[in-house]
Amino acid sequence: MKVLSLTARGFRNLEPLQFSPHEGLNVICGENAQGKTNLLEAMWLFTGGRSFRGAKDAELVRVGEEQAKIALSFFSQEREQTADMTLRGGVRRASLNGVPKKGMAELVGRFCAVIFSPEHLSLVKGGPVERRAFLDSALCQVRPSYAALFARYRHTLNQRNALLKDIARHAELLDTLPIWDERLCRYGEAIVRERRSYLERFSPIAAAHYEGISRGRERLELSYEPSFSGDLAQALRHSRREDLRSGHTSAGPHRDDVSIRLSGMAARSFASQGQQRSAVLAMKLAEAGVLAQSCGEEPVVFLDDVLSELDAARQEYLLRQLHGRQVFLTGCELPGVVPEKEDGGLFLMDRGVLQPQS
């Protein structure tokens, strides 16, 4: 999978842009707040996901502009494809190969990419929210239908939580709670199955990468940790009184976690900063590996100012593992890698203007 070209107008701080990257390593340098991450974000949106920075769609339009338009030409499934996107009034509209799409979920699985940014370094040290988000984002690209399943679960969860609050004022609504419990169980158990299945494929690949990075000094062990024991229906029955009191659903995949251990020890509590970064690096490489297996071609890789957070040995391992993929690497300074002239290039981003460097 390769990006052939990107055009953008009215997107973030980017000046009208027409970008034709190289097939290999594309290094984008520039000072902070010049637009490097915005460039990656514009391409990432064509995966069908939300901004990897958590931005709302309305924030993606340049200040003073009514709308933003971006277009991506990419090679996938043995042919050149084009996707267009308009962002206006906080709403995204897209087309693929000239055919309008009803929603962004219809783009999922067409253009596949992996993003690695400094924020991902908190995957080990941070809370369950970050690890669930990592798992769900990866799953959406591997199984496009997962995005719809996840949306149905979130909608059902929100409806159940609203009902829990209403019951406090209208006791007669208690009789409708089992209806939402049944729906929540149906979607929730499907999500847990999908997550467990993904981890079964993902964990051995991540462990192998970690062994390579650490030279066999520790073992990386990943496992799924549900927030309840037994089946979800039973858990909801047991927690009903507490849920009614708090107005929130206390059991379900929205409370689950992924356990990260190094040779049996909890990485969050006992791993050094270097070990934690090695674990995250192994997990991101495993994400790219599973995605390549699933879509039958290597995904595009975005490295957003992440090399500065890794030591020389981890930098070298990462870049060696990504050889043969199209990579977009951003940073304030020229990294200790020089793109090969045959299939790589160096670019400078300055105040929203991207210029190739000879």
Phi-psi region of 109 (alpha: psi -120 to 50; beta: other; left: phi over 0): left
Full pLDDT tens readout for the chain, 358 residues? 999 999 999 999 999 999 999 999 999 999 999 999 999 999 999 998 888 888 888 999 999 999 999 999 999 989 999 999 999 998 999 999 999 998 888 888 899 999 998 888 889 999 999 999 999 999 999 998 998 999 999 999 999 999 999 998 999 999 999 999 999 999 999 999 999 999 999 999 999 999 999 988 999 999 999 999 889 999 999 999 999 999 999 999 999 999 999 999 999 999 999 999 999 999 999 999 999 999 899 999 999 988 888 888 888 888 889 888 999 999 887 666 655 556 788 999 999 999 998 6
- C-alpha span between 246 and 256 (Å, rounded): 19
**Given this structure, which CATH class describes domain 1-112+297-358?**
alpha beta
Name residue 84's beta-bridge partners: 71, 95
Which CATH number is 122-139+147-207+214-272's, of 3.40.140.10, 1.20.1050.90, 1.10.10.10, 3.30.300.30?
Answer: 1.20.1050.90
3-state secondary structure of 23: coil
The domains of the chain are located at: 1-112+297-358, 122-139+147-207+214-272
Is 122-139+147-207+214-272 the same fold as 1-112+297-358?
no
> What pTM was estimated for this model as a whole?
0.89
| Alpha carbon distance 251, 242 (integer Å) | 11
Percentage helix, strand, coil, to 5, in the chain? Answer: 45, 25, 30
Instruction: For residue 213, list its beta bridge partners.
Output: none
Helix (H, G, I), strand (E, B) or coil at 4: strand
